Structure 1
Amino acid sequence: MAEDKAKNPHVLFFPFPIQGHIPPMLKLAELLSLSGFHITFLNTETIHNRLLKNSPALEQLAQQPRFRFKTLPDGLTSNNTEPILQVVDLVDSIRARCSELYRETLVPQNGEDPDGWPPVTCVVADGMMPVAFDVAEEMMVPVILLRTSSPCSVWAYYSIPELIKRGELPFPEEADMDDPIQGVEGMQSLLRRRDLPGTLRHAKSPNDRVLEFFNTASNNLGRAKALILNAFEPLDSLVLSHIRSVCPIIYTIGPLHLLQRNLNSSTNFPSFWLQDRSCIKWLDSQPNKSVVYISFGSITTMTGYKFHEFFHGLVNSGHGSITTMTGYKFHEFFHGLVNSGHRFLWVIRPDLVQGITTELEIYTTERVCFVPWAPQEEVLAHPAIGCFLTHSGWNSTLESIAAGVPMICWPFFADQQITSRYVGEVWKIGVDMKDTCDRNTIESMARKVMVDEGLRKSVSEMANIARESVKENGSSNMNFQKLVQHIKSLSI
């Protein structure tokens, strides 16, 4: 019986149900499926239906003989307007509504899987889903954590108790955001208040829900059998050494999209939004390294005002600078980009710009292309792209590194603030524009990054390291093979 189990490891994946977390989970799940494992992938019903609608990846995966999806209700109706509080509400709702169904999925009461599959031998739980960890541990199923954010943010979140002990969290009223932070080991000379994960800015007291949520999630590091990170060893070796002091077994297997490609996986990138591929044709007509690509991910929002009148006036004016209609983030970005003189491709989700009462049309001119969502990996790899104006989400950052594209970072929340600091000050592959949104800064940074050969050289060198890491004898590839063996050992 033990031998049969060893031949049929069954891994259950439980991702956090937002855009930035599900794609790397799905990529890893597919790679393990191709390694001969049975895979059960849990989604909430809302997220699963949305992915089915907008991405062919789920149907492709579901056709594989050892891959299946199961869904759980989320039941969330949140009254919170702040994204991080929506996240905490979602976790609480899933815990309340899904724990029993999750237990039954892990260990069926009658002892028989409805599909005749072998028992679940391991859970790969999203590090931001404590319920996935707690219930599996209760059912005595081994748990490996996967954190989908940057290693530097993982370590910063783990340092919350020390930051509270030192009085650095919560921030005092009228705090100087440029004051240095000392409570994150190994980053004392690097971090300012504004560089801590943005979600920590919301905390009002040491017992704040946000601090408690991230502290609980981070404490699971020391309880897990291992930790998986979508990163590669040379990128963050110092930070990784600190994390290993808490969780000694770490598998750095990123960039996952490169590893997936190297191991001959053909699944498309799963997305919450329907991709508009017209931008590829537009890029084909642009000179090399002439285009600024702008995308702020799946959560960031902006304010806007009279966009249609503004845009038509811009188009009709030709290439000249614009000096009117100040005061709104969207307009400041648009003014700055236009005044930089560069061509640009901008992903504008239907919900990106608040304050527009009519449906946003998508415009394309010789210099400007707007799309509701883009095939980002393909866009970043296109020779026309000269730089990436990004929210510094970890998936986007890795994709930009892998493509050798320097970044302008405008982080929104969560791990994005600390990741952007590393992009600008540690890795020196871009510039950090956090907490700034004026047209002059945007214009000057776009001009700088598009011609800065030092940044381009640094990110090109890092891209080469990333690509080497996923090759047969590269660190990420070998770590993935070790992970496969580790999971097999758990099923014996």
Structure 2
Amino acid sequence: MEEQQSLPPHVLIFPLPLQGPVNSMFKLAQLLCYSGLHITLLLTENIYNRLVLHTDITSRFDHQFHGLQIKTISDGLHDDHPREGSKFMEVFESLRTKTKMLFKDMLTSDLLCDGGRRRRVGCIIADGILGFTCDVAEEIGVPVFCVRTISPCCLWIFFCLPKLIESGEYPFKDDDLDEPIRSIPGTETFLRRRDLPGFCRSGDLEDSNIQLFEIEGQENSRGYGLLLNTFEELDSPILNQMRTICPNLYPIGPLHANLKKKLTIENTSSRSSSSSLWTEDRTCIDWLNNQLPNSVIYVSFGSVATMTNEQLMEFWYGLVNSGQRFLWVIRPDSIPGEDWKTKIPADLAMGTKERGYIVGWAPQEEVLAHPAVGGFWTHCGWNSILESVYEGKPMICWPYFLDQQVNSRFVEKVWELGLDMKDTCDREIVEKMVKDLMVVRKDEFLERANHMSKLAKNCLMEGGSSYSNFERLVKDIKSLSDKV
């Protein structure tokens, strides 16, 4: 027992099996590893297999992070079962019903102890939507921290769903999506129906999404604390609202920049290990190297969003007609069932050859940090927004699902960092917004983005808000682990 106690505390991290949460939790795992903790990162087998296929992640961890081990667990579905987009609720249900017992068995065995070279797990950090992890933690007497990798503004709306229903504002009484929402504290002056998560438009209280997210406030308050990938200076008003339900918050973001800073201090490779579920095409960096500063708009709709061929054409014509240079990520599965490469009109092909570059996937953090990039047309995933904020890049927002509808409204109306294009797919609007961002209002947006970028960088400096919150987190983990 004494020998075990002399070892570092052992923390298990269990992310939601989607690109965004996995990406964030890899960074958190590495940061905690640098703080002298032993980390087990628990991934579903499907996610792990995709990472091995597309990255060198295991070999890089072996060399850089000796205290970090990766373990896998079944999500309960067959290998060929679809897991993204609209099918993710099936993954979630399978995790809840089939993975829970596997998770408990893993924690109560010696499987994670690495032959006695690690303590038993003394602390769990799990995605707050995976409520069964809190059940198991309570059963075996291990402290648990919840973590949410979506935006705090969307999480706050989830917390307020019961109030939204009780007030009678939801379900909507008519089809006017521009009707203001008044019953969510802190957002009364700018939030509209169309800015709520997309599943709210169904108007069905029995919708599985409504039932899942309606209890977010209860679930996330079960842990010792709630970890958030944001910083006080960006989200202070919303964080103060959230503290009425979850008093012990740890805003420790932007996580990607927090890790990058740590890697620099440790004289390690400046690029953290990739956790992308797609193979990155680095030729786009060579192309950017030949462009003028702030001359390129980077376009990427993330790892899940899809579009129709008609939408693709409207976006493409808008980009080409804007006359601006563009780097566009079009994933192999972006247009389901369509072989778009064989149907490119001649004028688009010529315009792209002159001013554009298209890849299947890009090293996004590196792209956004590139001086040639002057704007970002994004789906508004939370990782993408934070990366854009940190690098001082204004945004055009075309949200797809979940927190993205809320995020896009905050980008335009609260943070004033760009333009919200939700519910729109028209080449003339695309052309106008690209011109506004990159030419007409370029100086205005860059000034605001540069200001927010400085705040994001300052929060990670010694004594900064995220720096201090992370130090507090490590201290609390060590203290709680020693009591197990």
Is the shorter-chain TM-score for this pair beyond 0.5, marking a shared fold?
A: yes
Q: Is residue 367 of structure 2 the alignment partner of residue 368 of structure 1?
A: no
| Residue 4 of structure 1, CA deviation | 5.2
Q: 1:86-105 alignment to 2 at 5 Å?
A: 86-105=87-106
- Summarize the Cα distance change of 1:484–1:444 in structure 2 as closer, same or farther, 3 Å threshold: same
SS in 2 for 1:24: helix
| Residue 445 of structure 1, CA deviation | 0.3
Q: Is residue 28 of structure 2 the alignment partner of residue 25 of structure 1?
A: no
Contact 1:11 1:38 in 2 (8 A): yes
Q: Which moved more, 1:350-359 or 1:153-162?
A: 350-359
Equivalent AA in structure 2 for residue 204 of structure 1: D
Q: In the aligned structure 1, how far is the partner of 2:297 from the partner of 2:15?
A: 32
Contact 1:253 1:477 in 2 (8 A): yes
Match of 2:148 in 1: 147
Q: Is residue 346 of structure 2 the alignment partner of residue 345 of structure 1?
A: no
Q: In the aligned structure 2, how far is the partner of 1:390 from the partner of 1:40?
A: 32
Q: Which runs of 5+ in 1 are unaligned?
A: 305-327
Q: How many residues align?
A: 466
Match of 2:60 in 1: 60
SS in 1 for 2:40: strand
Identity of aligned residues (%): 45
Q: Which moved more, 1:40-49 or 1:259-268?
A: 259-268
Question: How far does the alpha carbon of each residue in 1:139-188 deviate from its partner, in whole angstroms, 9 at most, with x for none?
Answer: 2211101110111111011111011111222334x521100111211111
Match of 2:138 in 1: 137
Q: In the aligned structure 2, how far is the partner of 1:87 from the partner of 1:354?
A: 17
Match of 2:447 in 1: 457
Contact 2:85 2:304 in 1 (8 A): no
Match of 1:471 in 2: 461
Q: In the aligned structure 1, how far is the partner of 2:43 from the partner of 2:223?
A: 22
Question: How far does the alpha carbon of each residue in 1:358-394 deviate from its partner, in whole angstroms, 9 at most, with x for none?
Answer: 7779987241100000001111111111110000000
Q: Is residue 124 of structure 2 the alignment partner of residue 123 of structure 1?
A: yes
- Summarize the Cα distance change of 1:359–1:106 in structure 2 as closer, same or farther, 3 Å threshold: farther
Q: Is residue 166 of structure 2 the alignment partner of residue 165 of structure 1?
A: yes
Q: Which runs of 5+ in 2 are unaligned?
A: none
Q: In the aligned structure 2, how far is the partner of 1:301 from the partner of 1:124?
A: 31
Q: Is residue 190 of structure 2 the alignment partner of residue 190 of structure 1?
A: yes
Q: Is residue 451 of structure 2 the alignment partner of residue 444 of structure 1?
A: no
Q: 1:321-332 alignment to 2 at 5 Å?
A: 328-332=310-314
Q: In the aligned structure 2, how far is the partner of 1:350 from the partner of 1:287?
A: 29
Question: How far does the alpha carbon of each residue in 1:68-100 deviate from its partner, in whole angstroms, 9 at most, with x for none?
Answer: 111111233699999665222111111222222
Q: In the aligned structure 2, how far is the partner of 1:45 from the partner of 1:88?
A: 17
Match of 2:42 in 1: 42
Equivalent AA in structure 1 for residue 407 of structure 2: T
| Residue 124 of structure 1, CA deviation | 0.4
SS in 2 for 1:365: helix
Q: 1:479-490 alignment to 2 at 5 Å?
A: 479-490=469-480
Contact 2:461 2:467 in 1 (8 A): yes
Match of 1:296 in 2: 301
Contact 1:203 1:210 in 2 (8 A): no
Q: In the aligned structure 2, how far is the partner of 1:474 from the partner of 1:13?
A: 25
Q: Which moved more, 1:360-369 or 1:416-425?
A: 360-369
Equivalent AA in structure 2 for residue 339 of structure 1: N
Contact 1:303 1:355 in 2 (8 A): no
Equivalent AA in structure 2 for residue 471 of structure 1: M
| Residue 217 of structure 1, CA deviation | 3.5
Q: In the aligned structure 1, how far is the partner of 2:111 from the partner of 2:299?
A: 51
Q: In the aligned structure 2, how far is the partner of 1:282 from the partner of 1:84?
A: 31
Q: Which moved more, 1:56-65 or 1:437-446?
A: 56-65
Question: How far does the alpha carbon of each residue in 1:47-69 deviate from its partner, in whole angstroms, 9 at most, with x for none?
Answer: 10101111223432244322111
Q: In the aligned structure 1, how far is the partner of 2:20 from the partner of 2:437?
A: 26
Equivalent AA in structure 2 for residue 434 of structure 1: K
Structure 2 length as normaliser, TM-score? 0.91
SS in 2 for 1:329: helix
Q: In the aligned structure 2, how far is the partner of 1:132 from the partner of 1:115?
A: 24
Question: How far does the alpha carbon of each residue in 1:380-422 deviate from its partner, in whole angstroms, 9 at most, with x for none?
Answer: 1111111100000000000001111100000000000111111
Runs of 4+ in 1 over 4 A off after TM superposition: 1-4, 77-85, 358-364
Q: In the aligned structure 2, how far is the partner of 1:404 from the partner of 1:420?
A: 16
Match of 1:11 in 2: 11
| Residue 111 of structure 1, CA deviation | 9.6
Match of 1:320 in 2: none
